[in-house]
């Protein structure tokens, strides 16, 4: 098992040992891999360009890199700016040879929720039960954000309307095609083994997402999954409509800790179906 010791920032002490990386958005924190040679670089935004930055960093700095696990959702095909402001904890740090690795922008923006967490931390113990938000809770030794032990938000946001705000969700088919071209050029034609994972979404979220695609006459879920299947074959793992009870969701598009544990063996088996016989995850 990878140690769950909390690190304030992501630390990479042995980059030469990293053979696999996990990139994408916050959904990827629900992909539970315990390999010591796997490192998480995923961020909280939902921008394909950020995933490309993470991939570029991996190629340049992990000399033993063999495979990429890329978490991707349909909404990202139409997202133009981050779904939320980055936390300073989402920027990549390590102990040596330098303190800061310039993977993402140098400017550090603190969101309101991060500020709230900082104030809260002065009055509560730093453990899962006390923290209300999921930001600012550190990282495990393999770079993954630990999940809250709370089952879900106090008021569950099933539809996640924040994903469809003006100037965030772009009503343009051309953006879909642009992002698809980037995915094909960077990932589908890569010399590394690439596994693309679309994590489970609550049925309410899926229905609302499809209604937005239809409202703006966009290419929808079936087109997205068909395109990913065409590009990645058995290495595209489509779990979007995986039948799960509400009790396994934190909100409309994130599994909670119990949901991640429930899906762990299922996801890892599917990843290994792509990676084997050369590599395995657990």
**What band does 7 get if pLDDT is binned at 50, 70 and 90?**
low
Question: For residue 129, what is the DSSP state?
Answer: T
pLDDT at 168: 86
- Structure token digits, residue 57: 């960093």
218/221 Cα distance (integer angstroms): 10
Return the SS3 of 116. Answer: helix
- The residues, any chain, with a CB within 8 Å of residue 156's CB and separated by 6 or more, are 249, 251, 252
Instruction: Output the pTM of the full model.
Output: 0.81
Structural domain contains residue 133: no
pLDDT at 196: 98
pLDDT at 96: 27
Crossing angle (nearest 10°) for helices 48-61 and 173-183? 10
Question: Could you report the per-residue pLDDT of 209-228, keeping only the tens digit for each?
Answer: 999 999 999 999 999 999 99
Question: Could you report the per-residue pLDDT of 33-42, keeping only the tens digit for each?
Answer: 999 899 998 8
Nearest 10 degrees: Cα torsion 207, 209, 211, 215: 180
Structural domain contains residue 126: no
Question: Could you report the per-residue pLDDT of 200-210, keeping only the tens digit for each?
Answer: 999 999 999 99
pLDDT at 186: 96
Q: Which domain holds residue 243?
A: 15-87+159-275
pLDDT at 110: 38
Among residues 198, 196, 205, 203, the alpha carbon closest in space to that of 263 is found at: 198
- DSSP H or E run through 147: none
281/265 Cα distance (integer angstroms): 10
Structural domain contains residue 42: yes
pLDDT at 99: 31
Whether a cis peptide bond, with omega within 30° of 0, leads into 97 is yes
Number of domains in the chain: 1
Question: Could you report the per-residue pLDDT of 246-278, keeping only the tens digit for each?
Answer: 999 999 999 999 999 999 999 999 999 999 999
CB 113 within 8 A of CB 226: no
- Structure token digits, residue 95: 């102990």
Residues written for the chain: 282
Question: For residue 88, what is the DSSP state?
Answer: G
282/279 Cα distance (integer angstroms): 10
Longest dimension (CA), the chain: 52
In 10 A of CB 34, how many CB atoms? 15
Structural domain contains residue 39: yes
pLDDT at 145: 86
Among residues 260, 276, 16, 244, the alpha carbon closest in space to that of 144 is found at: 260
pLDDT at 6: 54
Structural domain contains residue 129: no
Question: Could you report the per-residue pLDDT of 89-122, keeping only the tens digit for each?
Answer: 344 433 322 333 333 333 333 344 444 444 444 4
pLDDT at 8: 62
Question: Could you report the per-residue pLDDT of 117-175, keeping only the tens digit for each?
Answer: 444 444 444 443 322 223 345 778 888 888 888 888 778 999 999 999 888 899 999 99
Question: Could you report the per-residue pLDDT of 16-61, keeping only the tens digit for each?
Answer: 899 999 999 999 999 999 998 999 988 877 789 889 988 988 998 8
Question: For residue 186, what is the DSSP state?
Answer: I
Structural domain contains residue 111: no
pLDDT at 114: 45
Structural domain contains residue 139: no
Among residues 124, 128, 120, the alpha carbon closest in space to that of 151 is found at: 128
Structural domain contains residue 124: no
Higher pLDDT, 241 or 82: 241
Higher pLDDT, 126 or 281: 281
Q: Exposed/middle/buried for 59, CB within 10 Å: 0-12, 13-18, 19+? A: middle
Q: What percent of the chain has pLDDT over 90?
A: 59
Q: What percent of the chain has pLDDT over 70?
A: 76
pLDDT at 238: 98
Residues 200-220 as b/e (b if ≥16 CB within 10 A, e otherwise) read bbbebbbebbeebbeeeebbb
Q: Is the pLDDT of residue 178 over 60?
A: yes
CATH code, domain with 66: 3.40.50.1110
């Amino acid at each position: 098992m990878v140690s769950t010791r909390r690190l304030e920032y992501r630390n990479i002490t042995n980059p030469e040992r990293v053979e696999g990386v996990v990139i994408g958005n916050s959904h990827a924190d629900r992909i539970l891999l315990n390999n010591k040679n796997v490192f998480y670089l995923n961020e909280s935004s939902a921008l394909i360009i950020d995933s490309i930055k993470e991939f570029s960093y991996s190629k340049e700095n992990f000399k033993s890199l063999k495979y990429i696990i890329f978490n991707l959702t349909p909404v990202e095909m139409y997202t133009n700016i981050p779904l939320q402001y980055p936390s300073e904890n989402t920027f990549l740090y390590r102990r040596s040879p330098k303190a800061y690795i310039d993977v993402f922008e140098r400017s550090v923006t603190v969101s309101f929720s991060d500020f709230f967490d900082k104030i809260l931390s002065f009055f509560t113990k730093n453990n899962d039960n006390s923290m209300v938000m999921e930001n600012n809770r550190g990282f495990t030794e393999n770079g993954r954000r630990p999940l809250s032990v709370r089952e879900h938000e106090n008021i569950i946001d099933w539809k996640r309307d924040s994903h469809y705000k003006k100037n965030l969700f772009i009503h343009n088919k051309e953006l879909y095609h642009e992002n698809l071209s980037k995915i094909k050029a960077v990932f589908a034609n890569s010399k590394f083994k690439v596994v693309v994972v679309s994590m489970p979404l609550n049925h309410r979220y899926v229905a609302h997402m499809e209604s937005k695609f239809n409202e703006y006459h966009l290419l929808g879920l079936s087109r997205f999954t068909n395109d990913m299947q065409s590009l990645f074959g058995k290495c595209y793992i489509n779990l979007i409509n995986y039948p799960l009870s509400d009790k396994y969701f934190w909100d409309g598009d994130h599994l909670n800790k119990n949901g991640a544990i429930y899906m762990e063996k299922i996801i890892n088996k599917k990843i290994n179906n792509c990676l084997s016989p050369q590599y395995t995850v657990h």
